[in-house]
Structure 1
Amino acid sequence: MPDLHPLLSAFAPIWALTAVGYVVARAGLLGPQAELVLTRFVFHVAMPAALFLMISRTPLGSFANPSMLAFAAGTTVATALGLLAGRLLFRRKRGELAIGAMASGYVNSANLGIPVTMQVIGDASFVGPVVLFQILVVTPAVLTVLDSGAAGRRALLTLPLRNPVLIATALGAVASATGLRLPAELHHSADLLGAAGVPTALVALGMSLHNRPAAEGRSLRAEVGLTVAVKTLVQPLVALIMAGPVLHLPTHQLLTVVLFSALPTAQNVYTYAREYGQGTDLARDTVLWSTLVSMGTLSAIAWTLRPA
């Protein structure tokens, strides 16, 4: 069985920064609006910088391969189940349905994907195609739904011109396709801004734990439990079936696809939920509980599928 310590080391920064956010909120160091301000900083400033650099440095054709087909199948099934559960079982509204679907299938590819796969298989190259797929396909679809339902005051046709995440995505894709690069000084500045996104988002997530309602309804707990089960169990299982019996991928690729599919829900989902005020409790709790549960499921996958 693989050593659990390396996996714990990969998760430790997430828990530490979330705990910092909780302590900061509990002590009232940054005031009552701090969580909202930090989340908006991530959405409007840090995240666009990080996405632009990441996409501009990744070949756009890298996700056109059989491994990505298996990963996309798991993502599609998981998001569809999250959407159906939110609509049929929990009667969620349109924007909340988008967040629930995203929470069910949007993996924490960079923060955890890189350290986990490096520890288990010694290769994190699959993170590029996964990031491209989630940013270029999943994120625009979710943000379009969220933005189109924002109090009916925004024109859907102008969404790409107003949403900083989509603007950065489009510019990054153009830079990748044309080979354009920022001057060194601008590149370094964008890199610094982008690096602030993940820790700030985790601190904001921790602050939200202190600001959460005193009691959660049974319906929310059931929805979170179902969403976490879909994310950590169903999504990697579908990827396993596609990668193994259907596509017959080599053992190394099969393990890589299943590991990435089993990663927990990304904190980006909470950032989007907080920015649009849709499904915030569901996103927050799914990020936290899927991260905790995935420590066990990722270890089990590595033990079961890793070659002797």
Structure 2
Amino acid sequence: MHFVQLLLPDFALILCGYLVCRYTALNRTVWEQVESLVYFFLFPVLLFQSIVRSPLDLGAASNLMAAGLLLGLGGIALAYAVPHLPGLARVVDPREHAGAAQVAFRFNSFIGLALAERLAGPQGLLLIAVLIGVCVPLFNVGAVWPMARHGRTGFGRALLRNPLIIATALGLAANLAGFRVPAWMEPSVNRVGGASIPLGLMAAGAGMQLGHLAQQKALAAALLAIRHLLLPLLAALLARGLRLDGAQTVVLLLFSALPTASSCYVLASRMGYNGPYVAALVTLSTILGMASLPFALGVLLSAT
């Protein structure tokens, strides 16, 4: 499996957005409007369609769903604990942590969907869709909570106004109700959702300023260590403890080692936090995914 080849296009789009924003007339003024389009329309459509595309068999995938939720709760707990760890309390800025904590547990669903299909075929695609369906609401709540709490904007209000959470909730309700996007609408819906991938990645690159990482190196190291080392190790323990079958184990390990979501930047930026810092973390996470995916699917899978 050539993981570098799968990750390189995402990284190339981030770099492209950075270069276009810095060296052409398409500056930050233009990309701020692109961010709004992605956040309020394109990403929600993609999330909704990803969730309703495949029926959720809750019974057959119950152990996998439990493993995914436990993995997510573990990642959120570790991310929230970072400012309270010995040696980090005095060097981690609370506001920077509030905006960036999501990097430690959210995931790039685009890469996950592509890899799951290649690794396990249609079954892998269905299993990753189950994980997306049950974990995205949890992860979005986990991402919004520290920002809403630190910004004193009201947690419930922030959730109700968050288009990603709204799209996920509607997608789950529609899936469980048996709704599917009509065949005549699918091409248009798929194109709208598909447009969010390149534009979201390029918007992240346009807002990137790697120099921001120098201000919070310890925070960056802690969050990325959780995302790319601790979560794969936890996933291996959960797969063994819950006795997942072969395909479920592969998908859970894949899920645990994915780079963080490119929409982390969009969410942090739209909620008034340090978007460039989060964009830099997204870029580093994409690079680290080239190491964590082989680690999880090679070393840990063989030991599970």
Taking structure 1 as the reference length, what is the TM-score of the superposition? 0.83
Q: Give distance in 1, aligned partners of 2:164 and 2:131.
A: 17
Residue in 1 aligned with 2:94? 93
Asked if 1:268 is matched to 2:263, the reply is yes
Residue in 1 aligned with 2:273? 278
Percentage identity across aligned positions? Answer: 27
> 1:263 Cα deviation (Å)?
1.0
> 1:182 Cα deviation (Å)?
4.4
Residue in 1 aligned with 2:198? 199
Alignment of 1:132-211 (within 5 A): 132-143=133-144, 145-147=146-148, 150=151, 152=153, 157-159=156-158, 162-209=161-208
Mean Cα deviation higher: 235-244 or 182-191: 182-191
Residue type at the aligned position of 2:206: M
> 1:160 Cα deviation (Å)?
5.6
Residue in 2 aligned with 1:300? 295
SS class of match (1:82) = helix
Mean Cα deviation higher: 262-271 or 72-81: 72-81
Residue of structure 1 aligned with 2:30, choices 31, 34, 55: 34
Residue in 1 aligned with 2:80? 83
**Structure 1 residues 247 and 135, CA gap change in structure 2 (3 angstroms):** closer
**Structure 1 residues 176 and 87, CA gap change in structure 2 (3 angstroms):** same
Q: Give distance in 2, aligned partners of 1:195 and 1:169.
A: 17
Residue of structure 2 aligned with 1:55, choices 51, 57, 61: 51
Does structure 2 retain, via aligned residues, the 8 Å contact 1:270–1:280?
yes
Q: Give distance in 1, aligned partners of 2:160 and 2:252.
A: 34
Asked if 1:220 is matched to 2:216, the reply is yes
Residue type at the aligned position of 1:239: A
Taking structure 2 as the reference length, what is the TM-score of the superposition? 0.84
Q: How many residues align?
A: 296
> 1:228 Cα deviation (Å)?
0.9
> 1:183 Cα deviation (Å)?
4.6
**Structure 1 residues 263 and 92, CA gap change in structure 2 (3 angstroms):** same
Residue in 1 aligned with 2:103? 103
**Structure 1 residues 158 and 192, CA gap change in structure 2 (3 angstroms):** same
Q: Give distance in 2, aligned partners of 1:130 and 1:276.
A: 26
Residue in 2 aligned with 1:45? 41
Does structure 1 retain, via aligned residues, the 8 Å contact 2:233–2:300?
no
Residue type at the aligned position of 2:106: Y
Q: Give distance in 2, aligned partners of 1:258 and 1:298.
A: 8
Q: Give distance in 1, aligned partners of 2:182 and 2:55.
A: 19
Gaps of 5+ in 1: none
